[in-house]
Amino acid sequence: MKTKLALTAFAAAIAVFSQGAFAQASSPTRAEVKAEAKAAPKGGGDAQVKEGGGQPPKTSDTTRDARKATTKAEAKSGQLSATGDAMVKEGKGAPPKTSDTTRDARKATTQADIKSGNMEPKGDAMTKEGGKQKP
């Protein structure tokens, strides 16, 4: 039994070590990687830049004053689109925060809906009807 266990452990160890040796044999050596890295900038960069997938330049060709002048001209001619909070003011975003109805009118409408059965009272409204709670 001990012999069988020892042979199994030995076979497993050989299998583990042989996989590591085969994996390292197929990878490039350190000298090859260093030579490739040195040649890359001289040869025109890496493959991604050669294919046209490079990053755009970080600096702009136009000056800040030129961009400001262009923006002012677009705003005067009406070509500038609204962004951020201005979209809400123009009605493109969230609904307006003000209402045409007064608070008393809303309360009266809500009470009428509760009495007609179109709406169930919630929260404190349940106890304000003469001290009776609906089941």
State pLDDT tens for residues 98-108: 778 899 999 99
Contact 35, 42 (CB under 8 A): no
83's tokens? 């962004």
The string of pLDDT tens digits covering residues 4-52 is 877 788 877 787 776 655 556 667 788 888 888 888 776 555 554 555 5
The string of pLDDT tens digits covering residues 74-123 is 888 888 777 766 655 555 555 666 778 899 999 999 899 988 988 877 77
Contact 44, 50 (CB under 8 A): yes
What pLDDT, on a 0 to 100 scale, did the predictor assign at position 9? Answer: 81
Contact 89, 96 (CB under 8 A): no
> For 77, what's the count of Cα atoms within 13 Å in the CB-facing half-sphere?
7
**CA atoms of 17 and 20, how far apart (whole Å):** 5
**CA atoms of 129 and 92, how far apart (whole Å):** 42
pLDDT > 80? residue 128: no
